[in-house]
Structure 1
Amino acid sequence: MDPGSGVPVTLELGGVADPGLGFALTAAVVWGVYIYLLKRLFEGYPPAALAVLINAFAIAWYVPVVVSDGSVTAASLTAFGMAEIAVVAVTVLSTAAAFVLFLVAIADGDVSYVTPINKVVPMFVLPMEILLLGQVLTPLEVAGVVVATLAVYVANYDPGGFFQPFVKAARSRPAQLALLSAMCFAVSDVGKRVGLQELAIPETLWVPLLLAGVAAVLLPSAVRNPPSDVRADLPKFALAGGVVALGEHTTTLAFAILPASIASPIINTQAIVAVVLGGLLLGERHFRIRIIAAVLAVIGVTMIAI
């Protein structure tokens, strides 16, 4: 149900929300591949500089979409009021913080360890929708939160005492950063839903605003901590920028149709893609356990979305 309008959202084939479901699933695959690329291609880059460079290429890739769409006009920009500015600013700041925290987390820990923890974003999205948009919490959604939390336990599992995984997560810097990043991503997801649905900001305006805003926020830090030489890696940045442009576009289209409590769980199934790639192609440890953690995370957030 759309908490803003009280209108049920249909996810069945042939239902009115089919495009939103398709966009969300596409975004999940794109972002899962992107997480793998971050670890595989850009290890050692300062997080802020990495984000600024990738976003710059993403904006370049997205310019033809904005031009061909034609919905971004001077009138659409001048129509911005304080509400639009505030929502865009909060979304940009939370997205920038979430991305940097996640980069630091995967730099310190395995992709297949950090990702299941980081992708319990809907655990935080749903309470915010309850408080801000009047979403009603059902028993199934409560059960979903429990299952998603169990995924964090499993991701931290090592042979030993029952409470050992909790101790590990509490002491693990990657785990702490991943959870903090998840909270920031949750704020960003709710901001996307409000901006695209309640405030009706055009999708092709939202994407460049978000990309440019995140780059602007991180630019001072990027200037203070620049990478040594990026010329050899420019093709890699172009590739990553194209992936980000596609991911942001499909994510935006999903949030323009679905409520955040449905779009966020679907998009965050990217954990499965990232964990599989991390285990198979990067040879990370405890692959089977972390696959279980990723599956539990997906089950939990799906139960939240039902």
Structure 2
Amino acid sequence: MDPGLGFAITAAFVWGFYIYVLKRSFSGYSPAVLTVLINAFAIAWYLPVTLTRTDVSRHIFAEFGTSEVGVLALTVVTTAAAFVLFLYAIGAGDVSYVTPINKIVPLFVLPLEILLLGQVLTPLQVLGVVVATAAVYVANYDPGGFFKPFAKAAHSRPAQLALLSAMCYAVSDLGKRVALQELAIPESLWVPLLLFGVLLVLLPSAVRNPPANVRPDLPKFALGGAIVAVGEHVTTLAFVILPASIASPVINTQAIVAVVLGGILLGERHFLIRLLAAVLAVVGVTLIAL
């Protein structure tokens, strides 16, 4: 197996489990507070990797120019926006309903690569777009008429948030590809920079709306931070090796993990329909990657 593909598959399992943990354990926190606290723990977990593998001062102060700062800033802002929007989406709707919609990120990654990096669209990729679009239909399916799911998607707040989050994740994925391949930012430095940047973006909102008492949940935040540190590490390794149009669809098969856990362990309704939607989404994005 190609090492990059192995990293992408591992990332899919890590992030799928993370989605389940978010829904199961952190329902009482605002998205900004949740992200700031988890990222703080993730940085702490990851810091030894950065210090042992990277000459931090040389890379930050000697090799970062306008391009590196610009790509980092764009990726940080879109990552923060995507994650917060997704948290709002899963807060308003079932994990197994929101996740298949949110994880059609490659539908947006590919056009961006075509326009900005010269990616060529093949007939299989066109078919993938059609299949992934069908996944959105199935995710919204509710017996009662052919056009009812379309109306539901148009007026469903969770669906709208999930789609907007997917668009932001697409820009973020493209930023990762450019940063790690074209600009060759070391992966051991990229992970804490991304996590810390997202933390800074959301910190003002978190400070304005502080939680009453986080101490009882600190072990859960530490666990969440560890999952994020591992997830960002393997995701970064995948983007170092693979193009975004390959890494993104593989990593977004996390939808399968989240849907299965949400349906089995959380008892969310319409499980079989959501599972079919997730499978279609995976098939679609896989065709896009071929």
- If the TM-score is normalised by the length of the shorter chain, which range does it land in? over 0.9
- In the aligned structure 2, how far is the partner of 1:242 from the partner of 1:258? 24
More helix by share: 2
Match of 2:165 among 169, 178, 181: 181
**Structure-2 residue corresponding to 1:74:** 57
Question: What secondary structure sits across from 1:105 in the alignment?
Answer: helix
Identical aligned pairs, as a percentage? Answer: 76
Task: Give the Cα separation in 2 of the matches to 1:227 and 1:113.
Answer: 28
Q: Secondary structure at the match of 2:234?
A: helix
Q: TM-score w.r.t. structure 1 length?
A: 0.94
Q: Look up the equivalent residue of 1:300 and give its one-letter code.
A: G
Query: Could you report, residue by residue, the CA deviation over 1:71-103 in whole angstroms, capped at 9, with x for unpaired residues?
Result: 233221121000000000000000000000000
CA RMSD of aligned residues (A): 0.6
- Number of positions where the alignment pairs a residue of Structure 1 with one of Structure 2: 289
Q: Distance in 2 between matches of 1:72 and 1:19?
A: 25
Corresponding position: 1:51 with 2:35: yes
| Aligned with residue 201 of structure 1, among 180, 185, 201 | 185
From 84, 90, 101, the equivalent of 1:117 is: 101
How many angstroms apart in 1 are the aligned matches of 2:289 and 2:127?
A: 11
On the 8 A contact 1:21/1:263 being kept in 2, the answer is: yes
Give the Cα–Cα distance (whole angstroms) in 2 for the partners of residues 175 and 73 of structure 1. 41
Contact residue 72 and residue 204 of structure 1 kept, 8 A: no
Q: Which runs of 4+ in 1 moved over 6 A?
A: none
CA distance in 1, matches of 2:32, 2:163: 19
- Pair 1:259-2:246 in alignment: no
Could you tell me how far 1:153 is from its partner in structure 2? Answer: 0.3
Structure 2: state its 5+ residue gaps: none
1:72/1:202 contact within 8 Å kept: no
Q: Is the 8 A contact 2:72 2:175 kept in 1?
A: yes
Tell me the residue number matched to 1:20.
4
Gap regions ≥5 residues in structure 1: 1-12
Give distance in 2, aligned partners of 1:65 and 1:35: 24
SS in 2 for 1:186: helix
Q: Contact conserved, 1:129 with 1:190, CA < 8 A, in 2?
A: yes
Is contact 2:263-2:271 (8 Å) kept?
Answer: yes
Cα separation, 2, equivalents of 1:99 and 1:115: 12
Post-superposition Cα deviations, 1:38-81, rounded to whole Å, max 9, x if no partner, equal 00000021100100000000000001111222x23322112100
Residue equivalent to 1:30: 14
